[in-house]
Structure 1
Amino acid sequence: MIEFINVGKTYPNNVKALDNINLKMEKGEFVAIIGMSGAGKSTLIRCINRMHDITEGEIVVDGVKVSSLKGKEIRTFRRRIGMIFQSFHLVTRSSVLKNVLVSFVPELPFWRKVTGIFSKEQKVKALTALDKVGILDKAYVRVDQLSGGQQQRVALARTLAQNPDIILADEPIASLDPVTARQVMDDFTTINRETDMSIIINIHHVEMALEYADRIIGVREGKIVYDGRAAEVTQEVLDYIYKGQTNDSEPMNKGEKRYV
């Protein structure tokens, strides 16, 4: 469903964030991307939905060449890809429900955008999304009255309401306490299993990545240095991802634990 083909990304200051990335992610996978700060994890995720433009190669999402999209095509494409950030990007003085309804604004006719009137169907979708993440009872509460974990779940509900094919999450639990972080990761797991939605998460919490994700992609200095099942990740693998040290650096067959 998502394929990176010889992808490179160099920023204007000549920093090479991604270097010859070749990668395939299938529909319904729960993938965690791990590595040191500055390794290129966020850039890799943000290139998928054109938040960042690549400078080399090609990214193909469900047959669509992402780099070739222009104007309205990009906006339409992004509707299929939900994005969740460490900062929640919520309007804190508005209700939870209104924050979720924001996901429908791009598709509203002009008069509804001006008046802020949403259809009954859209309200039902928003309430259903809140129910999926366990905070339906907070629908009419102001966001600034919620805990950090509840606010992250509002952001997740807002993404679910747009019914995407893929959810990209950039450090979604970095600012949460361990208990709340686990609740949010449980939500991701439930969504992944019940909807077959692809979840691609950039995460610093290695133990959470190994527990929740099916597949681990290790990034170091803009390159993929490990790609394999979470269950096969050992301390040796982690040392290789984070320190570049290993006793076994030979690439292995696709589908097996492998160092690159």
Structure 2
Amino acid sequence: MIEFKDVNKTYPNGVTALKNINLTIDQGEFVAIIGLSGAGKSTLIRCINRMHDINEGTLMVNGVDVGKLRGKQVRSFRRKIGMIFQSFNLVTRTSVINNVLISTVPDLAWWRKGLGLFPQEKKVDALEALDKVGILDKAYNRVDQLSGGQQQRVALARTIAQHPDIILADEPVASLDPVTAKVVMDDFKKINKETNMSILINIHHVELALEYADRVIGIRQGEIVYDGKSEEVSQEVLNQIYGSVENIPKADDPEEADI
């Protein structure tokens, strides 16, 4: 369970990204976070794994007060939270399976990682994760030989192999074409249903958010202005989130940087 209680976040430059956030997300929910660029979508999910610190309030994740974690406690905590980025964050000059394995054994000596000397059980885990996202046949290909959609599926497999409780995804399909984006979103939905992992996706495209998420959270200027079932999102709700019909992103609109 993730609980935000009166959470505020202001950056050193004075920009207030989150204002009095109160939010509870139960285990196994698939949640899409939508809103204008700069609304605070990325900040919201990045506070969950302590990529950003909050200034006020309390953020609890599975009973852990995230703000009180220090040093090794933060690193240990993050191992139960997978993070997927728009840019994939893969090592492109090595194999797909090595990219998945690197995240599964954080305490392994660096030279073992470099030489690919991973425990056999971890290799099995990695292959099973690649199978779940449909790219087992690419396990021994170099990452730079893969398409963008395949690379994002490698990133998802890498996260699955960690066996996290929560997956956070920051614009995971932003750089993909519409067809490939739907394939990747299908994988997210499948993993959510099969494993009961909580999945929170900061997503630009409203159509994908409504199609795949069970719950939608709308943010405007750092405040939650909608929190409810995806099927209950109306045009009036979207206008409240985006200000006007003209501001609602279309499927082929380019993404802009969020905070």
Distance in 2 separating the partners of 1:215 and 1:10: 26
Secondary structure (helix, strand or coil) at the match of 1:211 reads helix
Matches of residues 34-49 of structure 1 in structure 2 within 5 Å? 34-49=34-49
Q: How many aligned positions are there? A: 245
* Residue 107 of structure 1: how far off its partner (Å): 2.8
User: Identity across aligned pairs (percent)?
Assistant: 73
Mark the runs of 5 or more structure 2 residues left unpaired by the alignment: 246-259
Partner of 2:226: 226
Matches of residues 199-210 of structure 1 in structure 2 within 5 Å? 199-210=199-210
By relative contact order (CA 8 Å, sep 6+), the higher-ranking structure is 2
* Residue 13 of structure 1: how far off its partner (Å): 0.6
Partner of 2:213: 213
Of 112-121 and 89-98, deviating more is 112-121
* Residue 105 of structure 1: how far off its partner (Å): 3.6
Partner of 2:253: none
Secondary structure (helix, strand or coil) at the match of 1:107 reads coil
Counterparts in 2 of 1:222 and 1:107: CA distance versus 1, 3 Å: same
Equivalent residue letter for 1:146: L
Distance in 1 separating the partners of 2:116 and 2:95: 14
Mark the runs of 5 or more structure 1 residues left unpaired by the alignment: 246-260
Partner of 2:74: 74
Distance in 1 separating the partners of 2:114 and 2:183: 36
Aligned-residue RMSD, C-alpha:
1.3
How big is each residue's C-alpha offset from its partner over 1:148-183, in whole Å with a ceiling of 9 and x where there is no partner? Answer: 000000000000000000000000000000110000
Secondary structure (helix, strand or coil) at the match of 2:238 reads helix
Secondary structure (helix, strand or coil) at the match of 1:104 reads coil
Runs of at least 4 residues off by over 6 Å: none
Counterparts in 2 of 1:232 and 1:173: CA distance versus 1, 3 Å: same
Counterparts in 2 of 1:244 and 1:48: CA distance versus 1, 3 Å: farther
Counterparts in 2 of 1:70 and 1:144: CA distance versus 1, 3 Å: same
How big is each residue's C-alpha offset from its partner over 1:187-233, in whole Å with a ceiling of 9 and x where there is no partner? Answer: 00000001011000000110000000000000000000000000100
Is the contact made by 2:102 and 2:113 (CA closer than 8 Å) also made in structure 1? no
How big is each residue's C-alpha offset from its partner over 1:31-79, in whole Å with a ceiling of 9 and x where there is no partner? Answer: 0000000000000000000000000101000110000000000000000
Matches of residues 56-75 of structure 1 in structure 2 within 5 Å? 56-75=56-75
